[in-house]
Amino acid sequence: MIPALNVTKAKRSLRRLTSLLATFAVASYFVSFEGGNSTLSKLELTSKKLPPIAPPDGPISHPLALWNAHGVTLKNYPQLWYSPMNLSPMVAGADPSEGTWTPIGTNAGPGYATFQTFVTPYSGGPKVSVAWINQDYAKVQMFAGTSQPGGSWPYEGSVPQSLWPKLIGAFEGGFIFNQSNGGWYADGRYGMPLVQGAASIVSYTNGTIDIGAWGSEVSMTSAVTGVRQNLIPLVDNGQVVAAANDNPLVTWGFSLGNILNTWRSGLGITSSGALIYVGGPGLSPANLGAILVWAGAVRGMQLDMNPYWVNYIQYTYGQSGLQGTDLLPNMNLGPSHYLNGFWRDFLAVLLR
């Protein structure tokens, strides 16, 4: 005779198992591994509070990755937030570590929201930096420059000290506006008129941004809080656009010395909503687009070009205050660049 199933007892056992798994997960969040040894005592583990990760203006779309369903191994550092899958190098014979993601920015407890890797886009080419930004756990804030696009804006010139504990990255906007073939919108008003078809970074009330052609892939709604336009789309439907090779020194901006392969940067968005930043030397528009696609972008755009302007700084915040480092050591502008007042617009990456 088979005994009847005790539903109440089964539910109680399931709750007990779930609680045990949750306890293990919380411990994994906060154990900082240094050579495999925990730096937290048992008392600290039991008293530590799990930080909230849901943004104040809406739920995150992806839950915690309780198991290693991504490119990160827990033995190296605690990472229970989603992270990018590692990639193969673009070029045969390249450094095998190219495409392997490592965390950057401040560890928020459950993990990191930004990662970086490097890639050689063509044989004999220089290494280019690539950053991956998880919008579930970080938001990107548009900042006007002190003179570009002109006027007065709530977020302008520099990241205020009140936001430094959440600051994990910052990077350049697009061309100056008289060369960008695009406009600017923020705080319910226009700094420059928006252009139909222009490649656009669009920010929303839930703290996320999207990228696409204005008027077809992205457009004005009541949820839009900002728009930064620059040139035309470089990546669409997961492919580099044909115009990437169409008179590139005119379509994609004049370079110093009329050199096609120069410093360039771009921003893309993946099918899951993560952002991809690419920046480095020796890039044509087509090379830039190819790296965005390699990293998973389905839509993307060029940001800026030439050695002085391409710049991504990753920041960490701790007992010593705010510390910043360029993604590539030969990037021209230093960590204080986005903290002390800058005349051109930029974007800051902040933990939610």
- What integer is the mean pLDDT of 338-342? 94
Q: How far apart are CA 168 and CA 246, in angstroms?
A: 36
- What integer is the mean pLDDT of 107-125? 94
Q: What b/e readout covers 46-66, taking b as 16+ CB neighbours within 10 angstroms? A: eeeeeeebebeeeebeeebbe
Q: Encode pLDDT of 55-96 as tens digits.
A: 334 434 444 554 445 555 545 556 778 889 999 999 999 999
Contact 140, 348 (CB under 8 A): yes
Rounded alpha-carbon distances, angstroms, from residue 37 to 34, 110, 261:
5, 18, 46
The pLDDT > 90 percentage for the chain reads 72
Q: Burial, 82: exposed, middle or buried (Cβ in 10 Å; 0-12, 13-18, 19+)?
A: buried
Q: Encode pLDDT of 294-328 as tens digits.
A: 999 999 999 999 999 999 999 999 999 999 999 99
Torsion (CA) 268, 288, 168, 143 in degrees, nearest 10: -70
Of residues 21 and 132, more confidence is placed in 132
Nearest Cα to Cα of residue 131 among 342, 261, 291: 291
Q: What six digits make up the tokens of 306?
A: 């030439």
- What integer is the mean pLDDT of 242-249? 94
Q: How far apart are CA 35 and CA 172, in angstroms?
A: 36
Contact 276, 295 (CB under 8 A): yes
Identify the pLDDT of residue 214: 98
Identify the pLDDT of residue 126: 96
pTM to 2 decimal places? 0.82
Nearest Cα to Cα of residue 174 among 227, 248, 117, 247: 227
Q: Burial, 119: exposed, middle or buried (Cβ in 10 Å; 0-12, 13-18, 19+)?
A: buried
Q: Which residues share a beta bridge with 283?
A: 262
Identify the pLDDT of residue 199: 98
Q: Is the pLDDT of residue 13 over 50?
A: no
- Residue spans per domain, the chain: 1-50, 116-351
Q: What angle do CA 96, 168, 78 make, to 5 degrees?
A: 60
* Phi and psi torsions of 56, nearest 5°: -65, -20
Q: How far apart are CA 168 and CA 350, in angstroms?
A: 6
Query: 10 Å Cβ neighbour count for 100?
Result: 17
Query: Tokens 């060369």 identify what position?
Result: 179
Query: Tokens 């989603």 identify what position?
Result: 82
Q: What angle do CA 81, 310, 97 make, to 5 degrees?
A: 50
Q: Which residues share a beta bridge with 118?
A: 129
